[in-house]
């Protein structure tokens, strides 16, 4: 534990909380955190070191940091979350969807679950069950406990992902934020591919119908798929200047996208037959 985390740990213990230090393997990174619960809590949030560092910048002293932390946790309403639903086979099969991550950063993460490489790319898919606000990675242990086959769960994840895919021209996306922008002249120049919630929606890369719709909207035989983040993909008409596309992706990943949300520094070419990395 960091010195800050240890001091917060000791302060929470002094205030009567049950606290446990944990290390979590999350997408793209390992995180240290504190599980904080009171005696009657069935589930409890994990507070990561990044949040503690943020609270330290905004508050004075360990007591002030812990006061701010507990105030923040009041807004995290876990009372309506039923953890048993994630251990129910029927719930998992109904709600499981495909998620996408980069393989080289997530070997340990992917070893815990069922995963597949996406054609000739550095990306992998894995299943996660989601409800309105929370989700859980479907580990091999969960599959064993529920007597679910990996093949069935992965197929249901792909099916559910296809049913939730969303493909929109960027003009329609911008209209959501800036109001009706009227008819945009000419054909679409950029298309968003995600799910309806736009949360971990990059898994729609596995939906060939979505990719075909993007080709249609762009009036293009070949399209570039740009991994904006784990939440969405952008599609544009394929162009000859691939160096510009790759540099743009690297710059955005460096300056804009949080590490936990990054997918890849590569674009991908889709031509109606398959997906390949543009190296």
Round to whole Å and give the CA distance between 265 and 277. 10
Q: Find which of 14-18, 106-110, 203-207 is predicted with most confidence, using mean pLDDT.
A: 203-207
Q: Which pLDDT does position 173 carry in this prediction?
A: 75
First and final C-alpha spacing in the chain: 39
| CA 193 to each of CA 9, 15, 94, 134, 205: distance values in angstroms, whole numbers, following the listed order | 42, 47, 22, 22, 8
pLDDT in tens, 114-168: 999 999 899 999 999 987 667 889 999 999 999 999 999 999 999 999 999 999 9
Instruction: Give the pLDDT score at 233.
Output: 96
The rounded mean pLDDT for the chain is 88
Q: What percent of the chain has pLDDT over 90?
A: 59
Q: Residue 105 corresponds to which tokens in the numbers above?
A: 């950063």
Least confident of 30-34, 172-176, 196-200: 172-176
Residue with tokens 């209209």: 175
Answer whether residue 185 shows pLDDT above 60.
no
What is the reported pLDDT for 81?
A: 67
Of the given ranges (72-76, 93-97, 259-263), which has the lowest mean pLDDT? 72-76
What are the beta bridge partners of residue 25? 30
pLDDT of residue 239: 87
Say how many C-beta atoms besides its own lie within 10 A of residue 73's C-beta: 14
- State the average pLDDT over residues 22-28: 81
Instruction: Give the Cα-Cα-Cα angle 20, 26, 29 (nearest 5 degrees).
Output: 105
| Main-chain phi, psi angles of 104, to 5 degrees | -70, -25
How big is the chain by its Cα radius of gyration, in Å?
Answer: 21
Q: Which residue has the higher pLDDT, 43 or 49?
A: 49
Six token digits for residue 151: 């093949």
Contact 49, 30 (CB under 8 A): no
Tokens of 240: 């000859």
Q: What is the pLDDT of residue 214?
A: 97
pLDDT of residue 211: 97
The residue extents of the domains of the chain are 3-74, 83-162, 164-278
pLDDT value at 230 more than 90: yes
Question: Would you state the structure tokens that stand for residue 56, as one six-digit string?
Answer: 């330290």
Strand partners, 30: 25
Is the pLDDT reported for residue 181 higher than 70?
Answer: no
Q: Find the mean pLDDT for residues 49-75.
A: 90
CB neighbour list of residue 139: distance below 8 Å, 6 or more residues apart: 112, 113
**Alpha carbon 20 to chain centroid, angstroms:** 25
Q: What does the pLDDT read at residue 29?
A: 80
pLDDT at 241: 82
Instruction: Name the H helices within the chain.
Output: 3-14, 49-58, 61-74, 89-95, 107-111, 140-146, 150-164, 170-178, 208-218, 242-255
Round to whole Å and give the CA distance between 62 and 68: 10
Q: What is the mean pLDDT of residues 207-224?
A: 96
Residue 269 has pLDDT above 70, yes or no: yes
Q: How far apart are CA 2 and CA 202, in angstroms?
A: 34
Tell how far CA 157 is from the center of its chain.
15
98, pLDDT greater than 80: yes
């Amino acid at each position: 534990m960091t010195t800050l985390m240890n001091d917060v740990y000791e302060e929470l213990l002094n205030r009567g909380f049950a606290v446990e230090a944990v290390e979590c393997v999350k997408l793209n990174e390992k995180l240290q955190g504190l599980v904080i619960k009171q005696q009657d809590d069935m589930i409890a949030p994990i507070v990561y070191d990044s949040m503690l560092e943020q609270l330290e910048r905004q508050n004075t002293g360990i007591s002030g940091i812990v006061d701010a932390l507990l105030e923040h946790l009041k807004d995290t309403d876990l009372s309506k979350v039923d953890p048993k639903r994630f251990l129910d086979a029927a719930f998992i099969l109904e709600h499981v969807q495909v998620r996408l991550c980069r393989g080289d950063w997530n070997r340990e993460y992917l070893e815990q679950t069922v995963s597949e490489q996406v054609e000739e790319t550095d990306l992998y898919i894995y299943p996660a069950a989601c409800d309105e606000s929370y989700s859980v990675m479907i580990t091999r242990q969960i599959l064993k406990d529920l007597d679910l086959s990996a093949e069935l769960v992965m197929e249901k994840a792909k099916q559910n992902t296809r049913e939730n895919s969303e493909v929109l021209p960027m003009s329609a996306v911008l209209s959501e934020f800036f109001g009706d922008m009227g008819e945009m002249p000419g054909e679409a120049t950029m298309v968003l591919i995600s799910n309806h919630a736009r949360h971990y929606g990059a898994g729609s890369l596995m939906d060939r119908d979505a990719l075909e719709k993007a080709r249609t909207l762009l009036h293009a035989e070949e399209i570039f798929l740009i991994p904006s983040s784990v939440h969405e993909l952008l599609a544009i008409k394929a162009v000859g200047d691939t160096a510009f596309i790759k540099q743009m992706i690297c710059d955005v990943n460096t300056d804009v996208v949080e590490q936990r949300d990054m997918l890849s520094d590569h674009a991908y070419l889709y031509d109606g037959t398959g997906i390949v990395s543009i190296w």
